[in-house]
Structure 1
Amino acid sequence: MAENDTVGTEVKLIIFKLGREEYGMDILRVQEIKRMMGITRVPSTPTFIKGVINLRGSVLPVIDLRTRLGLPENELTEAARIIVVLVNEGIVGFIVDEVVEVTTINTQDVEAAQTLSSGLSAEFISGIAKADSRLFIMLNPDVIVNVAQG
């Protein structure tokens, strides 16, 4: 792993939006960020699995994070992206409304996830990160994918 990306008690997060909320994920898990592209639907899959894409000869499943997290569906805009993420099962794409930034946080500024009143399943959340006056819901991509298969 790239030691320059995680130094001491700091971690770099990719910050993205789903609706008005900001979410984060460890940047070390991100392989690349792609503009929306043609997604081929796969019959008899759950609604949150939007289909598959061909990424340089590899077929990757694509999950709509909004739908997976139980958030209301939204029309995709020009800002929508597919974040290609390394998970235990291999590589998967997550559709997000917008990629905001990459930021560095101190691991001491991450609190354990509590059950959230919004109905967002706590099993998907690895913690809540605080940076200045902002809060980021940190997602666990392995759990999102494992539960998706279960």
Structure 2
Amino acid sequence: MTTKNDVLHRLLLFALGDGLYGAQVSYIREIVPDQVKNPLPGAPDFIPGIIHVRSDVIKVIDIRRIIPLGKERAKKKIIVFVPEDAHSTRFGILVDDVYGIMEVPDAVVSHLDRSDAKIQNNFMLGFMKISLDTFLHQNGRQFAAGEDDLVWIDFEDLIRTIIDGDQADSIVFRLTALFNPQYLLSGEWKKNTGKMKA
């Protein structure tokens, strides 16, 4: 019999700004180094351009063009999403660093109640405490308990919202609520909603 303690979530750990985040690996195709992007005429401000990964064209999303985040790192990575089908637009999100895959027991996750209308406004599934340093210095993908805050992002919802052009106004609010809640409280995010239009 499988118990809650036996369920493992395979999360890719990455940094963006001052935050540490995790995303279910099933929504991630690959990670590639940041590279020169070809501008895409008519694209919203948060898409600085496209890159080519083998025969695929990837639209790159830069969260920093929407909201202010912490200090940028020199060697950035692009996390490429798995498309819904062969004809779907392929997207990648620019992040500051990628640390690897951690297998997180469900018992350590503080899941958010997604039925609460107030919580549905961001892309967060839950959060947990880990030790990034311990994880990086061990062999394997085991969970390492500690005091670092890890936010679990709902990549499925994030991808669907970005692809849906009708949600351009709400995505600024939702991304700000996830990546920089202090900025959200300041009200400055409202000035950036116009940048999301294609």
User: Does the C-alpha gap of structure 1 residues 138 and 10 become closer, same or farther in structure 2, counting only changes over 3 Å?
Assistant: same
Specify the alignment match of 1:140 in structure 2: 154
User: Does the C-alpha gap of structure 1 residues 52 and 74 become closer, same or farther in structure 2, counting only changes over 3 Å?
Assistant: farther
How far off its partner does 1:122 sit?
4.1
Query: Is 1:78 aligned to 2:66, yes or no?
Result: no
For residue 125 of structure 2, give the secondary structure of its aligned residue in structure 1.
strand
User: Does the C-alpha gap of structure 1 residues 122 and 23 become closer, same or farther in structure 2, counting only changes over 3 Å?
Assistant: farther
How far off its partner does 1:10 sit?
0.7
Greater per-residue helix proportion:
2
Query: Is 1:50 aligned to 2:42, yes or no?
Result: no
TM-score (structure 1 length as normaliser): 0.75
- Tell me how far apart the structure 2 counterparts of residues 112 and 90 of structure 1 sit (CA, whole Å): 30
- Tell me how far apart the structure 1 counterparts of residues 96 and 40 of structure 2 sit (CA, whole Å): 22
Structure 2 residue runs of 5 or longer lacking an equivalent are 1-5, 114-119, 131-144, 166-198
Structure 1 residue runs of 5 or longer lacking an equivalent are 1-7, 115-120
- Tell me how far apart the structure 2 counterparts of residues 122 and 16 of structure 1 sit (CA, whole Å): 22
For residue 104 of structure 1, give the secondary structure of its aligned residue in structure 2.
strand
Matched residue pairs, number? 137
How far off its partner does 1:138 sit?
1.2
Asked whether the 8 Å contact 1:12–1:26 carries over to 2, the reply is yes
Supply the RMSD in Å over aligned alpha carbons. Answer: 2.7
Greater Rg over alpha carbons, structure: 2
Amino acid of the residue matched to residue 109 of structure 2? Answer: V
Q: Identity of paired residues, percent?
A: 24
How far off its partner does 1:101 sit?
2.8
TM-score (structure 2 length as normaliser): 0.59
